[in-house]
Chains A and B, each alone.
Chain A
């Protein structure tokens, strides 16, 4: 038995649950939509979401209701909802499960959001590799259309909400909301300058809301059981509700665990994920996907809520918790993530495009024991010239692994370089030869 009440994973935990419309309805599905659509004014739905304290589950943690509130109130033209299903943050694999195992929970959330913001069209931008999830969603959309939950005149109210699945094609940056919009418009996924924000100038330059899969999947529960109920879960007032945390790395039972926000990393890792896979103790963990700075075994009692993780010098991000045991080479680990960011940099901003290449080359040199002490200064200098100097948050993300491993495991960098220097001394190579 799970220790806490499950919200998002409840249905799929029932043995034999396939996520069909019939089963979703039997589990109380689409009741929230029936309760409000055409009966409760859309502004009240937005108010309820604000009151619930729901914050975006994609990474940034922005309050969902507030985001909706930024849409221009008197605008008469079309508005759009985009569901961000471009789950690509290394360490994160929850949206995939939410879409493939309980697609109607997400669709009900999408239609509720469409109703609240007055959007007649919603696009689910799903990462291209998730072919199965896209098929399952398309099938579920067809079922929901036939039952009158999606399409023109939903539930006979005269309200329109169409939903389409749009597959991406393998670009991490398209999870950034303005890059997602560019990609959905058929262009390269290059993030836009902000402001203007998508709320006023989004898809096709129209007012647009972009929300993550898990964020939207919470809506049927918030509307169905009330914002007060939701706001009492987790660590209110700032981190309400549950999160589906994805645990990976050196634990006994990796996987998705839904727990209220505010439990400690120790509990998540040692109780839910079964603890370390061997007798080696925990050395490091990434608390919120590859973009979040590394933390150490000293941080195990930090609570899994937005503020606590930020206060510990990292971020809760996408909820991807990656655990590393004693003996994991940290410079190598940082290099692996750096290789990822180097590959995924979209190329728009020079500091990130050029800087990621410099960072990855410097890191490869150090790991290959060809580094020099001055490389450490070069790394910090590069990081400081990337961070905060790019259009999107990718700049902050790509420096996180290096800056945080330099902070906690600088000695590992130094050892690799000292070994390199010792080898150089024996071979009497001039240092310029490394170029």
Chain B
């Protein structure tokens, strides 16, 4: 039960809004963090917490693409395929996933490590092509960096190539002595 595990966090989330239902998406995220996806059981529990009916929770949960209603791989590769990324070669990136991992959009590798989704614009058009892996952005992808990201994720669970606080173009570095 979420309530037993996250009582404090749930109370804090509820305190942010004058109307309980506003905490619905935050609670769906909490459930997703806990299980990796949002199960029916979690939706029923959330309905109880917010005094909603389970269908009210379900209709909201199914509307939003970031709420996973079934399990996804440990690393969820989301490659942007909108026009701006497509101009910079995002179809090629989807091709790399196919040749290197053997999966197409909507598929998961048999070891459960990687799921691929081809998604719409992620607000990184100036640094295309790009993909999001779980919470992190990886931009200006090349085949070399793509390979390194996959290898690092497999080995360490993270990769240093992820984007930090975003700025593009980057400011000129400070002149020595200035």
Contacts and interface: CB of A to CB of B under 8 A. Distances in A.
Interface stretch (B98-106, B108-116, B147-155, B162-170): B162-170
Contacts of A253: 169
A87 B64 CA distance: 16
B168 A256 contact: yes
Contacts of B81: 336, 339
Nearest to B62: A188
Contacts of A185: 19, 21-22
Contacts of B65: 169-171
Given A90-B83, A101-B166, A170 B126 contact: no
A88 B8 CA distance: 32
A91 B125 contact: yes
B25 A90 contact: no
A337 B135 CA distance: 25
A430 interface: no
B2 interface: no
Contacts of A136: 165
Interface string A325-349: 0001000010011011001101000
B135 A254 contact: no
A130 B124 CA distance: 10
A8 to B, nearest CB: 12
B10 interface: no
Given A90-B82, A90-B125, A170-B66, A250 B87 contact: yes
Given A101-B166, A129-B66, A167-B29, A91 B21 contact: no
Interface string A296-340: 000000000000000000000000101010001000010011011
B29 A129 contact: no
Contacts of B18: 78, 204
B132 A129 contact: yes
Interface in B60-106: 60, 63-67, 81-84, 86-88
Contacts of A97: 166-168
Interface stretch (A9-17, A33-41, A354-362, A370-378): A9-17
26 contacts: A15-B173, A19-B165, A88-B121, A89-B121, A90-B82, A93-B127, A131-B135, A132-B136, A166-B26, A167-B29, A169-B65, A170-B64, A186-B21, A186-B22, A186-B50, A189-B63, A246-B125, A255-B168, A256-B126, A290-B121, A320-B125, A333-B87, A336-B82, A336-B86, A340-B120, A346-B63
Per CB-CB distance, the 10 closest pairs between chain A and chain B, nearest first, are A186-B24, A169-B64, A15-B174, A186-B21, A248-B125, A170-B66, A170-B65, A254-B126, A90-B121, A336-B83
